[in-house]
Amino acid sequence: MFDEFIDEQNKKPELLAPAGDWESLRVAVYNGADAVYIGLSDFNARAKAQNFTLENLNEVVSFCHLYGAKVYIAMNTLIKDSELEEALEMARQAYQKHVDAFIVQDLGLAKVLKEQIPDIELHASTQMGIHNLEGAIIAESLGFKRVVLSRETTLNDITLIKAWTNLELEYFVQGALCVSFSGNCYFSALKHGQSGNRGACIQPCRLKYRANRGQAQGYLLSPRDLCLLDRLKQLNDIGIDSFKIEGRMRRPGYVAQAVQSYRNAIDSNYNEDVCNFERNNLKRVYNRGEYNEGIYLDRITEENIINPEFQNHRGVSIGQVEKVKHFKVIYEIIIEANTSIANGDGLKFIGLNGSEISIGVGGVEKVSDNEYRLYSKHSPHVGDAVYKTLDSVRENALTSYIKKLPVYAHFEAQPDVPAKLFLRYKDIQIVVESMFVCDKALNQALTSERLLQNIDRFNDTPFELKGFTCDIKDVFIPSSRINELRRNACEKLQNQIIQNFEKPVNKVVRDSIKTSKVQEANTNNFMIVGDYRDLDAVPEDTCVIYAPLDYEFDKLNKFLQEANECGHEFVYLNLPNIANSHDIQKLKSLLTELGTQNVGVVANNLYAMCFAKLGYKTIVGYQMNVVNTKTAEILVLLGAEAFIKSIESDLALELNIGHNYVGKPTIMTFCHCPYKTVYNYNSCKECEYHEGLIYQSEDKQNYLIRRIRCASCYFELVYNKTIGNKIAPYVLDLRDDV
């Protein structure tokens, strides 16, 4: 028993790579990925990637399984009722093609998949927002085998989830970060009509903003990229099962480098020198300046999430512009560089005033040991810093590498019996027997040297010969027949490797989706207020939802007393959509002291459904993204008495149950502190928080930032326009009007 425990602790985690197209998939597998995640033509959160199809999925799965890599299909978007049948059929066909698992955001889709494909393996997408033990327990009860933890999950919460569930845990270790909490960003959807929850985000967070206080301006909502090479051992020790690399929209060279770097780090047992070396390699293929090295894991106070200076690939510094000479339509540029510059490289010139010029290198000439001449129709200035954004030589080396599987061969032949060729890969051995019998040699017998020349021709196969033995006795066999035998053996071994890797495909139900009528409680309209002074505006037949900025008992109790005096004997407490273990402990303590008689809750994340089991009347908030009837069914089973539809109206339009939201919604929730970004605070002790911080976008739109304080601080970006066109049933009354 104890030996098994030690083995479990010492096992290597899975390295999971992104693949947005065929080339990225190949380089990910060749460079050592244990699994890849891909999207099909629909229902995945990277709709702009090239993606794959059901038609070429057999080829994808066979290729990956041959090299021992699993294939996960991302179906990680919100699904309308009218789309459930199509999504189910896609999953059915993919399952029958031996896909290993499905990454799902939508609870309704997960319910349908489990009902009709009982043996399907489901992974809860990071878009589902699982980040604490309570949420993980509920996800496990719904049939998920693995949870892709939110990037905001702390080390303490990861430890608790691992200790008290049987879930596999997946965590992002490399790549771009969303500034908003997973699954709860509505910026692109509400402002531009392109939903991040449907894979169409146009990233308004990567634009420039200006704060209304101080001098802060720039990319105030643009996070640094994540790189957790220094934290891998720690994550492995506390039980992370899969290290995930972000980047289905990134080029194949980036994918190859990221996989290679993390493969080397894992295989070196997280050697510090290896990790440092690989971090520099990663910066060469993509970086937005200094990496974020896991601040969310610690919830430490220093601000290292946002990089206001730039939001795109910076490259690595290689020198500066020495001379610029202007011809009629072109500029001659002399660069002093500390590394070589080759045709096909990408360069970026950055001026002292922040100006940027990006060019592709063609026709470069080496002037001296550290000087290079090139030509461009764009003109930098003398003294501009030069960064290399693409190293063409290294990129070609990364993407041209082909992994071969080592095989051992043994050949047997004697007169008057068929020849036999044995091939072995790891513990898999096959044998093929010739359709002919061997002829006795009349003149020159087959030698082991000539036989090896014919056998060692694996160039057009996935294999390479590592060892060869033979037992041949005075026979003659034409080369063509030996080649045919080798080809048959390779095909048989390839099929056997794939077959041994794949799990059997079991029964798939082919019923139409049955929907039961969701029975919501007979509730009145709801109105959300942030202060007891707003209670006079709440109609008598409307239920009160209290959305405090501070979760303190005295404030909650004061609000309840004032509500009671206004005739509202029952109040729903709006719970934050992010809550680490310390926050949940505080919320449970507050609600226990308040009791269940006069207080219910609004659940904005799956974790909050635990309060329904504790006896609190529960309403599901819009941040739970209810867009189909099946999701509503699950939430009712978990104890919800009513729910609010998604605020993405095009998704919730056909849903004829649930309540609509009217008001100015929260479109982003942050775990970082915008006040540190604006005021350069180094510690929370320096904080002089006051309401009214506003970010103004380039098109002069204002967005209010509010602090929500439980045991920890979180921040909300509030939309400056009211959505919906009714006064009721669900109204957000903001005292802080933008």
Residue 209, both tokens? 């903003």
Residue 274 predicted with pLDDT over 80: yes
Same domain, 78 and 131: yes
**Tens of pLDDT along 317-353?**
999 999 999 998 899 999 999 999 999 999 999 998 8
- At residue 653, what are phi and psi to the nearest 5 degrees? -60, -40
Same domain, 679 and 647: yes
Q: Above pLDDT 90, what percent of the chain?
A: 73
**Any domain includes 197:** no
Residue 154 has a pLDDT of: 95
End-to-end CA distance of the chain: 61
Let me know if 694 is exposed, middle or buried by CB neighbors in 10 A (0-12, 13-18, 19+).
middle
**Any domain includes 481:** yes
Same domain, 291 and 338: no
Same domain, 490 and 587: no
**Any domain includes 519:** no
Q: List the CATH number of the domain containing 51.
A: 3.20.20.70
Residue 730 predicted with pLDDT over 50: no
**Any domain includes 518:** no
Residue 10 predicted with pLDDT over 80: no
**Tens of pLDDT along 351-392?**
988 889 999 999 999 999 999 999 999 999 999 999 999 999
- At residue 662, what are phi and psi to the nearest 5 degrees? -130, 130
Of 298, 324, 346, which marks where a domain is finished?
Answer: 298
Of 379, 400, 421, which marks where a domain is finished?
Answer: 400
- The rounded mean pLDDT for the chain is 90
Same domain, 555 and 691: yes
Residue 655 has a pLDDT of: 83
Q: List the CATH number of the domain containing 684.
A: 3.20.20
Same domain, 584 and 662: yes
| Nearby residues of 718 by Cβ (< 8 Å), 6 or more positions away | 664, 665, 666, 667, 703, 704, 705, 706, 734, 736, 738
Same domain, 485 and 531: no
Whole-angstrom distance, CA of residue 520 vs CA of residue 543: 15
Same domain, 493 and 552: no
Same domain, 560 and 702: yes
**Any domain includes 396:** yes
Domain count, the chain: 4
Of 501, 517, 543, which marks where a domain is finished?
Answer: 501
Whole-angstrom distance, CA of residue 183 vs CA of residue 694: 23
**Any domain includes 592:** yes
Residue 731 has a pLDDT of: 36
Q: Where are the alpha helices (DSSP H) in 84-148?
A: 84-96, 107-116, 133-141
Q: Which band of pLDDT confidence, cut at 50, 70 and 90, is reported for residue 738?
A: very low
- Are 583 and 575 in contact by the 8 Å Cβ rule? The answer is no
Among the ranges given (493-507, 593-607, 641-655), the one the predictor scored with the smallest mean pLDDT: 641-655
Same domain, 465 and 428: yes
Q: Average pLDDT in the 149-154 region?
A: 95
More confident site: 497 or 540: 497
Residue 192, both tokens? 């531009």
Q: Average pLDDT in the 488-496 region?
A: 97
Centre a 10 Å sphere on the Cβ of residue 184 and count the other Cβ atoms it contains.
25
**Tens of pLDDT along 155-201?**
999 999 999 999 999 999 999 999 999 889 999 999 888 888 888 89
Same domain, 394 and 409: no
Q: Average pLDDT in the 240-264 region?
A: 96
662-676 burial string, b = 16+ CB within 10 Å, else e?
bbbbbbbbbbbbbbb
Which pTM value belongs to this model? Answer: 0.93
Q: List the CATH number of the domain containing 372.
A: 2.40.30.10
Residue 488 has a pLDDT of: 97
The 3-class secondary structure across 212-230, one letter per residue, is: CCCCCEECCCCECCEECHH
Same domain, 268 and 380: no
Residue 540 has a pLDDT of: 80
Residue 295 predicted with pLDDT over 90: no
**Any domain includes 1:** no
- At residue 302, what are phi and psi to the nearest 5 degrees? -65, 140
**Any domain includes 111:** yes
Q: Average pLDDT in the 257-265 region?
A: 98
More confident site: 480 or 726: 480
Expressed as residue numbers, the domain containing 379 is 316-400
**Tens of pLDDT along 562-586?**
999 998 889 999 999 999 999 999 9
